């Protein structure tokens, strides 16, 4: 039964994280198209919100898994998958962001918008590290 709970945790927290990340990116794009542009404090605020999102949601998913009777490694896997879902949203939104930024600055859209294999591999490492952080935080709190 723990495996079903894990899949539900991944789905719920992953979808919530994807929606929240897309909303943050959307707000940043709207602000970048305004007359004032995006000021450095606003960029810092969005960066902090992204980091909090990428640590809090996997931690909550891992804590929910641990509370459901799962092991630390199950919680780690759930947290890593939640981060991977949020990362996938960022990868999918990359071309939209590049086009919007090029339109706002009057520049050309870069030709190679799809990420390379090393970038995706580094993203996978990033997902595993944040999954470990999330599971560690959940283990400490629980």
Q: What is the pLDDT of residue 34?
A: 65
pLDDT tens for 82-117 read 999 999 988 888 777 777 777 767 777 766 677 889
DSSP state of 1: -
Task: Dig out the tokens for 32 from the structure.
Answer: 């970048």
DSSP state of 115: P
pLDDT at position 1 over 70: no
Question: Which residue's entry shows tokens 């709207």?
Answer: 30
Q: Please state the pTM of the whole predicted model.
A: 0.85
Average pLDDT of the residues of the chain: 86
**Distance from C-alpha of 70 to C-alpha of 75, rounded to nearest angstrom:** 7
**Distance from C-alpha of 61 to C-alpha of 71, rounded to nearest angstrom:** 13
DSSP state of 106: T
**Distance from C-alpha of 20 to C-alpha of 56, rounded to nearest angstrom:** 12
Domain ranges in the chain are: 2-141
pLDDT tens for 63-79 read 999 998 889 999 999 99
């Amino acid at each position: 039964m723990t495996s079903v709970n894990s899949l539900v945790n991944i789905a719920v927290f992953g979808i919530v994280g994807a929606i929240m990340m897309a909303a943050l990116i959307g707000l940043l794009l709207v602000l970048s198209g305004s007359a004032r542009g995006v000021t450095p404090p606003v960029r810092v605020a969005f960066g902090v919100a992204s980091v909090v999102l990428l640590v809090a949601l996997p931690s909550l998913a891992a804590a929910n898994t641990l509370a459901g009777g799962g092991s630390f490694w199950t919680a780690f896997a759930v947290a890593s998958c939640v981060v991977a879902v949020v990362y996938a949203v960022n990868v999918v939104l990359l071309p939209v962001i590049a086009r919007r930024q090029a339109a706002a600055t009057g520049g050309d859209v870069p030709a190679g918008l799809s990420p390379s294999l090393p970038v995706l591999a580094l993203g996978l490492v990033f997902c595993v590290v944040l999954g470990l952080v999330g599971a560690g935080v959940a283990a400490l709190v629980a």
